[in-house]
Structure 1
Amino acid sequence: MSSGSGSGLSSTSNNYRNFKEVTRHRLLHEMLRSCKTGNSKSTWKVLIMDEFTIKIMSYACTLLDTTNEGVLLLERIDKERQRFASMDAIYFIRPSKENVRFFLSDMSGSAPLYRKAFVFFTSPISKDLVGQIKGDGSLTSRISALSEMNLEYYAIDSQGFVTNNERALAQLYGDEDDSREAEACLSEMAARVATVFASLREFPIVRYRAANRIDATMETTFRDLIPTKLAAAVWDCLMHYKRTIPNFPQIETCELLILDRSVDQIAPIIHEWTYDALCHDLLDMEGNKYVHEVASINGGLPDKKDVLLEERDPVWLELRDHHLGFALEWLNSKLSNLKQNKAAQFENSRDGQCPELSSRELKELTEALPQYVELKEKLSLHIEIASKLNRIVRNLELPFLSELEQGLVFGDARIKEVIMFLRIHGPYITREHKLRLLMILAAIYPEKFEDEEDLHMMMKYAYLLPQDMTVVRNMKLIGESREGSSGIFPLKFGIAKRKCYRKERPREDEWLYSRFFPMIEELIEKLSNGALSEELYPCVNPNARLLRSRRTPMWAHRRNSENGLSRDASTDFEKMGRRIFVVIVGGATRSELRVCRKLTAKLKREVILGSSSLDDPATFVTNLKMITADDQPLTLDDIQI
């Protein structure tokens, strides 16, 4: 059985592709297109996937992409399907017992569902399951390919992926007496993170947030060891790939930093004012899907249309990382310019004709009309969204709340300002937004939430119920620091005398409420510059020489999409250095993803963010509320690297 790992697409390759482009290329070319050769006689094929791999494909490719590669039908392996005895089938599935059982049911016996089968597993398959497949004699002539793609993640962004461990926060930080569920979660996450490096054909220097003052005589909690244990598990997977995948790098080609949510408790809950963050925070969206209301042709109720806010939308790509104020100004400017367009004048003319146009101008106008209509629709969509966001932030009094939040983070505000704010604005602010304010306060002044009298006072001023305070109490579980700590955590609990929780950084713009920055920005810059503490962020690789050069002179070519627009800002560089990967256990945020895009341009190194999930504030609050505390003592003997 063959094992796939990419096609010379590492950051040291001359044919540079960004992270998502590599994923798309592997799925379309290495998997689907490879089935067009050999003994495959049928032109059209059926692509059969499970629930997990359907999402892998949907994040990286479009339906048109798969159709262009000869796929006629998309099917779920666990659903009843029609027999197509004259067609070949492509199976892209996880190597689970259930999926292998479905596959054997499809293709064995005297009446298989399909003529031939090309089988691609997302990750290494066990010898027992391979034995089950090879043990069925009727399959020998029906299997045209049996391969491990080593691709088991969702490429949610050109520079971001998730492993789909959405319950990681509860599983890893909870109080289960039996840690088997937590160990299983880490094992699954490690295997999926490792497939990222198999796909990109990268071999990383693996660094991780060290356990707090760990030594052979000191007990520590499972939570404190999460980055250590994940780093060890990822390393084991990489060693397997190093032995089994042809042409897998034998020396380090990139850097990987493994963190958990303790490095920054504030980022998931503070109110961000970028267009992307506000859309997912304040609008009723399902993933990236937004319901757009358009005027009805018949003059009745507006028609509803589902649209995706994603990188294929050039207006979204332009605005997503900018402040809402910038987005409103930019959209108004573009709309004014559009009205001056000849196509707009032609559209708005009474009789639909422009007699003053020459034949050449009329030809140019006709060619420009489709682009004009598309741009007009995009601008109309985003003007509606930006205007709605502007109304919401004012109705919810978020400017006052954001000013207080950032004041707390940077030491301009204290508890008395919070109490005064709640007295004045508390009745008018939603329960969720007040909870987030108190969670920020709990991260900065945890001692104020240990005393029942203080807790009752906060609850009273915030008009909250006792059960609401569970999530506030649980903040300590994702940022716990021991007395006498040497400073492992950039943000530490138990430092009440600190004048400011976070130091100011130079601001790139003067928009209001844009002072906050996620902590990974500072960590990534230090990692890139060789200034990240080796004591606090040690390395797994034995005898590894840390990559201290800011960049390496590797040439990269700009790659354009089919419509001539750049697929991602990172491909605008003529030179790109070694990739940097950051993996956060317990959920990443859109602000952290934005930082990775920003630092890619600044450092000339593609920065890729991975996590168990990408959480909006409401989701993070819900996940955190599910955690309960019961530390499980562990020692160094429990960890093997």
Structure 2
Amino acid sequence: MNVVQAVKLYITKMTEESGPGMKVILMDKETTSIVSMVFSQSEILQKEVYLFERIDSHSKWDNMKHMKCIVFIRPTPENISLLLRELRYPKYGVYFIYFSNVISKADIKTLAECDEQETVREVQEVFADYLAVDRHLFSFNIVGCLQGRSWNAQHLQRCAQGLLALLLSVKRRAVVRYEAASEPCARLAERVRDLLRREAVLIDNNIPFNGEIPTPQLLIVDRRDDPVTPLLSQWTYQAMVHELLTINNNRVSLAHVPEVPKDMKEVVLSSEQDEFYAKNLYSNFGEIGQTMKSLMDEFQKKAKSQQKVESIADMKNFVETYPLFKKMSGTVTKHVTVVGELSACVSRHNLLEVSELEQEISCQSDHSKHLQRLKNLLANEAVRQHDAAKLVALYALRYEKHASNALPSLIEALKTRGAPEHLLKSVVNLLEYGGAHARQSDLFGLQDAVKITKRLFKGLNGVENIYTQHTPLLKDTLEDLIKGKLRENLYPTLGGEDGPYGRRPQDIIVFIVGGATYEEALCVHQINQAYPGVRVVLGGTAIHNSTSFFEEVKSAMQGVHRTHTRHIRNV
């Protein structure tokens, strides 16, 4: 179940079916992102696509009849009307139209009636309707999917359609399980189940049925069950870049870095296009430093050998190896710049100290010690306001029910150090969003005997690294599912009539309403390695760092009356 490969196959099919000749690809905002996540511009150029156009732009080109037009858009009402406008006054010679999801017969009929000049050669549905972030990770790039405890209707529809496309693209018939205590999970599960029933013929035609293997499961869970994971500082390369610099559709802005080279103001970090990144996404920060040194040494060795251009043979050799040399030079410069900026952030903002306390609060219970260390860090001016607010939010979640809870005084301390209003609100909103009342799980292992024992053993054995003690709740949930221990009353099944869903599943798609994180992607990667024969794919409404997670919470809590945090005044 490789989601990058699934999307790539569809896009390759689109570029090949139109035959040889110069092509333009006409996309909408979302499909532009879908394509750019899996193909670089140079790779697309190799497929004779010379022009990229947006269907919602009023392009200056008048008449391009010599070019074939590949249309790749989502089947939304807005896009259909823009496509109708295009077909009434066609700029290009012929059109090959691909919708990223199911399109209604009525819309097809309208398009046919509009194609008076008979320029349309092909209309097809391809199911590339999600952002393939990594082989086992996908997203819909929606921050703020809920309004209070309910879905934003548009986002609900988008996620349901996207999940249908995902199942069709990886050719899996799945039963749907969801978190029983979460209203948003139940709504999405029902909507997906309804779409699967409505498109039963399409599924039968596209996905072979195999009664021999356990039915794949689509498990829908709620971010509010684990509000801790998105708040933690990260120490693996990919997650750290996202937390400190932000990865947006595989792109990272370095424009703020002093004296950054002009061509490095925005860099692409894609495991499909960058071998070094693919090998090191899950390496921790210490390992990255060592690996960077080896890369530099190798590059310098190659650079020295390139300098000896004395004969015709040397020149020929240089010309042949130059593109690879140049590519390596670009890779080295890019990663040295990124790692250099990460390193500067860590020392500038005392992130080792901040992270150590974050990990301790999330993994251990020691109120007086944590409170004292937290007060010391709040008094340290080198600690960023954002990190200070994260620490207070973690304290609020861990010690919500503690008899000596000091949250009001910690919020006062944030005010005193000049934290902006939105961060103060974030702490209170987070407790309202993901406090004990909102969670189905025993997040901190306070009641569950198994979890208490697990934590005790972990404490006795020590951990490999004080900065990576925490494991996301998702790990326990997935391991229970793989072992057939996930309780049906807590995670009921919809549409179980499809087959032997009671068996231990081999294929699992887990979707987090409210957004996933790169720490959870690492956890899924580790599970895929630890359980041979099991394939897990993770998706979320978004891929969060702590900043976008605060945005998620703010959006969900807008206009909601506080019922569990009324005791915190003046916020």
Structure 2 equivalent of residue 378 of structure 1: 331
Q: After superposing the two structures, state which structure 1 stretch, 370-379 or 153-162, moved more.
A: 370-379
More off after superposition, 415-424 vs 535-544: 415-424
CA deviation string 1:50-72 (max 9, x = no partner) = 11111111112222333333323
1:70/1:362 CA distance change after superposition, 3 Å:
closer
User: What residue number does 1:187 align with?
Assistant: 157
Match of 2:479 in 1: 525
1:20 paired with 2:4, answer: yes
Which of 346, 350, 364 aligns to 2:305? It is: 346
Letter in 1 for 2:148: Y
Task: Work out whether residues 56 and 154 of structure 1, in 8 Å CA contact, stay in contact via their aligned partners in 2.
Answer: yes
Q: CA deviation at 1:365?
A: 8.0
Cα distance in 2 for residues equivalent to 1:518 and 1:613: 17
Aligned to 1:265: 227
1:440 and 2:388 matched: no
Aligned mates of 2:64, 2:325 — CA distance in 1:
44
User: In the TM superposition, what whole-angstrom CA distance separates every residue of 1:106-133 from its partner, at most 9, and x where no partner exists?
Assistant: 223xx53233222211222234323322
Is the 8 Å Cα contact of residues 215 and 500 (structure 2) preserved in structure 1?
no
Report how far residue 230 of structure 1 moved: 0.9
Cα shift at 1:167: 2.2
Tell me the residue number matched to 1:256. Answer: 218
SS in 1 for 2:478: helix
Structure 2 counterparts to residues 430-579 of structure 1, below 5 A = 430-447=384-401, 454-462=406-414, 463=417, 464=419, 468-482=423-437, 488-491=440-443, 503=455, 510-543=464-497, 544-546=499-501, 548-549=503-504, 578-579=506-507
C-alpha separation in 2, matches of 1:292 and 1:423: 32
Q: Compared with structure 1, are the counterparts of its residues 504 and 258 closer, same or farther at alpha carbon in structure 2 (3 Å cutoff)?
A: farther
Structure 1 residues 85 and 387: CA distance shift in structure 2, 3 A: closer
Quote the residue 1:208 is aligned against: 178
Letter in 1 for 2:558: T
- Within the candidate set 45, 66, 70, 1:67 is matched to 45
Which sections of structure 1, spanning at least 5 residues, go unmatched? 1-10, 12-17, 37-41, 212-223, 294-299, 551-577, 633-641
Of 98, 106, 111, which aligns to 2:86? Answer: 106
Q: Report the CA distance shift for 1:361/1:86 in structure 2 as closer, same or farther (over 3 A).
A: closer
Question: Counterpart of 2:156 in structure 1: which amino acid?
Answer: L
2:537 maps to what in 1? 608
- 1:284 to 1:103, Cα distance in 2 relative to 1, 3 A: closer
Could you tell me how far 1:527 is from its partner in structure 2?
1.6
Q: Is the 8 A contact 1:444 1:501 kept in 2?
A: no
Residues 364 and 79 (structure 1), Cα distance of their counterparts in 2 relative to 1, 3 Å cut: closer
Cα offset, 1:243, TM superposition = 1.8
Structure whose residues are more often helix by fraction: 2
Whether contact under 8 Å (1:408, 1:441) holds in the other structure is yes
Distance 1:70-1:547 versus aligned 2 partners, 3 A rule: farther
Would you say the 8 A contact 2:361–2:395 is kept in 1? yes
In the alignment, the residues of structure 1 paired with residue 39 and residue 329 of structure 2 have an alpha-carbon distance, to the nearest angstrom, of 26
Partner residue of 1:199? 169
What is residue 226 of structure 1 aligned with on the other side? 184
Q: Counterparts of 1:302 and 1:56 in 2: how far apart (Å)?
A: 28
Gap change, CA 1:468 and 1:100, over 3 Å in 2: closer
Distance across 2 between alignment mates of 1:19 and 1:74: 23
Match status 1:587 vs 2:515: yes
SS in 2 for 1:268: helix
Q: 3-state DSSP class of the match of 1:258?
A: strand
Counterpart secondary structure, 2:24: strand
Aligned position for 2:128? 151
Letter in 1 for 2:135: S
- Shift in Å at residue 156 of structure 1? 1.6
State the Cα RMSD in Å: 3.7
1:123 counterpart = 2:51:
no
Q: Residue in 1 aligned with 2:34?
A: 56
Stretch deviating more after TM superposition (257-266 or 603-612) = 603-612
In 2, the alpha carbon distance for the partners of 1:135 and 1:426 equals 70
CA distance in 1, matches of 2:45, 2:263: 28
The answer to whether the 8 Å contact 2:252/2:268 transfers is yes
Counterpart residue type for residue 48 of structure 1: L
Please tell me whether residue 628 in structure 1 is matched to residue 558 in structure 2: yes
1:309 aligns with 2:269: yes
Q: TM-score, normalised by structure 2?
A: 0.84
2:71 aligned with 1:142, yes or no?
A: no
Contact 1:93 1:121 in 2 (8 A): yes
Please list, as runs of the form range in 1=range in 2, the aligned pairs for 1:292-441 lying within 5 A after superposition.
302-305=261-264, 306-311=266-271, 312-336=273-297, 339=300, 341=301, 343-347=302-306, 352=308, 371-372=324-325, 374-423=327-376, 425-428=378-381, 429-441=383-395
From the superposition, tell whether residues 501 and 321 of structure 1 become closer, same or farther in structure 2 (CA, over 3 Å).
Answer: farther
Distance 2:364 2:529 in 1: 30
Partners of 1:150 and 1:284 lie apart in 2 by 28
Task: Return the match for 1:78 from 56, 62, 65.
Answer: 56
The letter of the residue matching 1:54 is T
Q: Give the whole-Å Cα distance in 2 for the aligned partners of 1:450 and 1:187.
A: 44
Between the aligned partners of 1:284 and 1:261, the Cα distance in structure 2 is 20
2:567 aligns with none
437-446 or 494-503: which moved more?
Answer: 494-503
Name the SS for the 1:446 alignment partner. coil
Contact persistence 1:59–1:156 (CA under 8 A): yes
Deviation of the 1:25 alpha carbon: 0.6
CA shift for structure 1 position 360: 9.6
CA contact (8 A) 2:180 2:490 kept: yes
Q: Which amino acid aligns with 2:375?
A: L
User: Which letter does structure 1 place at the counterpart of 2:371?
Assistant: V
Task: State the Cα distance separating 1:610 from its structure 2 match.
Answer: 0.8
Question: TM-score normalised to the size of structure 1?
Answer: 0.76
- Is the CA contact 1:588–1:615 (under 8 Å) kept in the aligned structure 2? yes
> 1:271, CA displacement in angstroms?
1.1
Compute the displacement of 1:457 (Å). Answer: 0.8
CA contact (8 A) 1:163 1:193 kept: no
The answer to whether the 8 A contact 1:189-1:612 is kept is: yes
1:481 Cα shift? 4.7
Which secondary structure does the structure 2 equivalent of 1:156 belong to? strand
Deviation larger for 472-481 or 19-28: 472-481
| AA matched with 1:55 | S
| SS of corresponding position for 1:72 | strand
- Structure 1 residues 233 and 512: CA distance shift in structure 2, 3 A: same
Q: Distance in 2 between matches of 1:115 and 1:508?
A: 68
Structure 1 counterpart SS, 2:72: strand
SS at match of 1:92: strand
CA change 1:95–1:446 in 2 (3 A) is: same
**Offset at residue 515 of structure 1 (A):** 0.9
* Cα distance between partner residues in 1 of 2:200 and 2:561: 36
2: distance between equivalents of 1:186 and 1:365?
A: 55
Which runs of no fewer than 5 residues in structure 2 stay unpaired?
563-571
> Is the alpha carbon distance of 1:440 and 1:112 closer, same or farther for their aligned partners in structure 2, counting shifts above 3 Å?
same
Task: Give me the whole-angstrom Cα distance separating, in 1, the residues matched to 2:84 and 2:373.
Answer: 67
- Contact 1:596/1:607 (8 A) holds in 2: yes
Change (3 A) 1:404 1:365: same
Give the deviation of 1:394 after TM superposition. Answer: 2.1
Shift of the 268–106 alpha-carbon distance from structure 1 to 2, 3 Å rule, reads: same
Alpha-carbon contact 1:445-1:493 (below 8 Å) kept? no
